[in-house]
Amino acid sequence: MRIRIFDTTLRDGEQTPGVSLSPEQKLQIARMLDELGVDAIEAGFPVISEGESKAVKMIATAGLSADICGLARADKRDIDAAADAGLDYVHLFIATSDIHLKHKLMMDREEAVRRAISSIEYAKSRGMKVEFSAEDATRTERGFLRDFFKQVAEAGADRADIPDTVGYSTPAYMAEITRDAVEATGLPVSVHCHNDFGLAVANTISGLQAGATCAHVTINGIGERAGNASLEELVMALQCLQFDEARSTGIHTEKLYGTSRAVSGLVGIQVQPNKAIVGENAFGHESGIHTHGVLSNPLTYEPISPELVGHTRRLEVGKHAGLHGMNAMLGEYGVKPTAEQSKVILSRVKALGDQGKKVTDVELLSIAGEVIGEPGLRRMVQLSGFSVSTGIGTMPYAFVKLNVDGKEFSATDYGVGPVDASLSAMQKITGEIAEVRIREYGLASISGGSNALCEVTIGVEDAKGNKASARSVGEDIVTTSVQAVIDGMNRIMLKKMLGGKKTRG
């Protein structure tokens, strides 16, 4: 069975607290979604602002392959706004649960049905296809919901949608009301699930198994409160898990990780490291037992290949590490210690792990260099001097001194903030001496309070296009940013120096 993927990142996803996209950013994301292979894009809610209407119109006229849809209440003004934005497909909705009818809409069930029918007829008169949602369907009295969908179909709706508006359903109940809607309408049925209880993807799958043919999803599962069903999780579950009937989508899965990172950057919401499918740790291994198994056959501890979703496998070392994984990491740099040297290196790695310290591959190489007597296996770049100056009425200023392969270099620069000034000063040194430039920078808070920890991720690239990334965690944003850049530079310079090089041992 072919499942239709209806992406609402640009509408429900943008309703995430703190997220606001410009028309140009929305068009940029819409193009990514189209390249990803989604069947429909909910471009926005045209009536809410001039900018939103402009964004929807830009997307509707961009020549994308996906169906372009806009949200509208069961109201002529909303429908006109959608039509005037150039849409021929509208997602209409009205609440059907008693709690919404009484406390939000102040109307009875009969009036809600009349409004729904009237809005469908008006939208059809304006030449639009209609997908109709019974908002808060999972808290609506089941008999009324079934009758409501029947009348929506008779009024001329082209599709029916079941929203689990506050994530209140269980998979079993979602299956029951989906079967009701399919039987009552004879229309293609969609399911739109929220993640308040962590069941959005499970409820979506249950609805699809019960007869729905379309899933409403967002990239990274973003959305109001706890978010929506995650596109990447749902698509890979449908493709890879064991179902009684095969289900496919038109998604180009190798683009999932790249799309996830791009959307994350544009909306300003960091993807949690342990996020399924697209998190940084989704294919990361430290445990000796796991790395040994993965090196023998990746399927031992990975349900799918990371390449299938455009991701990469990552081995790390720490107190849980084993010899196989550690030696595999060293082997990437052409470093091959003897059996005895490996044991010594591993014992030192574990000692650092027991102290709560993260051991990067740069640190691993430095330890290995000391053990096997290779002075070249060390940090190529070290911070030897650093200061920043900032304040009200003065432009932030930074001084940075780096030791690059035994030679001292220093630079100063201004910036829009202390971090920008520091990175600009470092860029002066690295661009001139090591031909390494900073290409990506990400910042996220990972704890609360006045002494919150921040996480900085950095991407660097040399003149030949070789890339490396690094992550640093600390209390001070400026210092943590500088350290992340230095780690990234060390990685790319060591890889360039040691790539394919044989070492003693």
Q: What is the pLDDT of residues 210-237, one digit of tens each?
A: 999 999 999 999 999 999 999 999 999 9
Which is nearest to 186 in space by CA: 159, 210, 168? 159
Q: What is the pLDDT of residues 167-179, one digit of tens each?
A: 999 999 999 999 9
**Percent of the chain that is helix, strand, coil (3-state, to 5):** 45, 25, 35
* Residue written as token pair 């430039």: 437
Which is nearest to 185 in space by CA: 145, 144, 151, 139? 151
The answer to whether residues 74 and 116 touch, using CB atoms and an 8 Å cutoff, is yes
The C-alpha torsion from 40 through 46 and 49 to 53, rounded to 10°, is: 80
Q: What is the mean pLDDT of residues 6-10?
A: 98
Q: Where does the pLDDT of residue 379 fall: very low under 50, low under 70, confident under 90, or very high at 90 and above?
A: low
The answer to whether residues 38 and 5 touch, using CB atoms and an 8 Å cutoff, is yes
The answer to whether residues 315 and 285 touch, using CB atoms and an 8 Å cutoff, is yes
Pairwise CA distance, residues 144 & 408, whole Å: 76
* Residue written as token pair 């996209």: 21
pLDDT of residue 451: 62
Is a pLDDT exceeding 50 seen at residue 505? no
Q: Within 274-394, where are the H helices?
A: 288-296, 323-331, 339-354, 361-372
The answer to whether residues 205 and 239 touch, using CB atoms and an 8 Å cutoff, is no
Structure tokens at 345: 């290196």
The answer to whether residues 189 and 152 touch, using CB atoms and an 8 Å cutoff, is no
User: Torsions phi, psi of 11, nearest 5?
Assistant: -115, -70
The answer to whether residues 98 and 55 touch, using CB atoms and an 8 Å cutoff, is no
Pairwise CA distance, residues 308 & 299, whole Å: 13
Q: What is the mean pLDDT of residues 445-451?
A: 60
**pLDDT over 90, % of the chain:** 55
pLDDT of residue 287: 60
Which is nearest to 2 in space by CA: 257, 228, 208, 159? 208
Q: Would you kindly state where each structural domain of the chain is located, as residue ranges? A: 4-267, 284-372, 382-498
Is a pLDDT exceeding 80 seen at residue 157? yes
Q: Which amino acid is at 479?
A: T
pLDDT of residue 446: 59
Q: Where does the pLDDT of residue 502 fall: very low under 50, low under 70, confident under 90, or very high at 90 and above?
A: very low
Q: What is the mean pLDDT of residues 450-478?
A: 77
User: Lowest mean pLDDT: which of 87-101, 155-169, 288-302, 483-497?
Assistant: 288-302
User: Torsions phi, psi of 394, nearest 5?
Assistant: -125, 145
Q: What is the mean pLDDT of residues 58-69?
A: 98
Is a pLDDT exceeding 60 seen at residue 383? yes
Pairwise CA distance, residues 72 & 74, whole Å: 7
Residue 217's DSSP bridge partners are 7
pLDDT of residue 492: 76
3-class state of residue 11 by DSSP: coil
Q: Where does the pLDDT of residue 499 fall: very low under 50, low under 70, confident under 90, or very high at 90 and above?
A: low
* 61 φ/ψ sector (left φ>0, alpha ψ -120 to 50, else beta): alpha
pLDDT of residue 429: 83
Angle formed by the axes of helices 231-240 and 256-267, nearest 10°: 170
The answer to whether residues 490 and 380 touch, using CB atoms and an 8 Å cutoff, is yes
User: Lowest mean pLDDT: which of 17-21, 194-198, 368-372?
Assistant: 368-372
Find which of 114-118, 326-330, 472-476 is predicted with most confidence, using mean pLDDT.
114-118
> Which strands, in side-by-side order, build the sheet including 467-474?
436-445, 454-462, 467-474
Tell me the pairing of strands 129-135 and 159-164.
Answer: parallel
Q: What is the mean pLDDT of residues 193-209?
A: 98
Q: What is the mean pLDDT of residues 353-368?
A: 76
Q: How many CA atoms lie within 13 A of 481 on its CB side?
A: 25
Angle formed by the axes of helices 142-154 and 109-125, nearest 10°: 30
The answer to whether residues 268 and 21 touch, using CB atoms and an 8 Å cutoff, is no
Q: What is the mean pLDDT of residues 135-149?
A: 98
The answer to whether residues 59 and 77 touch, using CB atoms and an 8 Å cutoff, is no
Q: Where does the pLDDT of residue 3 fall: very low under 50, low under 70, confident under 90, or very high at 90 and above?
A: very high
pLDDT of residue 58: 98
Pairwise CA distance, residues 280 & 145, whole Å: 41
Is a pLDDT exceeding 60 seen at residue 450? no
Chain-centre distance of CA 116, in angstroms? 35
3-class state of residue 17 by DSSP: coil
Burial (CB count within 10 angstroms: exposed 0-12, middle 13-18, buried 19+), residue 303: exposed
* Residue written as token pair 């008006």: 122
pLDDT of residue 335: 82
DSSP labels for 63-120?
A: --SSEEEEEEESSHHHHHHHHHTT-SEEEEEEE-SHHHIIIII---HHHHHHHHHHHH
Q: What is the pLDDT of residues 270-295, one digit of tens each?
A: 898 889 999 988 887 656 556 656 66
Best CATH choice for the domain 4-267 from the list 3.40.50.2300, 3.20.20.70, 3.30.930.10, 3.40.50.300: 3.20.20.70
Pairwise CA distance, residues 262 & 240, whole Å: 24
284-372 folds as Recoverin; domain 1 (1.10.238)
Best CATH choice for the domain 382-498 from the list 3.30.160.270, 3.20.20.70, 1.20.1740.10, 3.40.50.150: 3.30.160.270
The DSSP symbol for 3 reads P
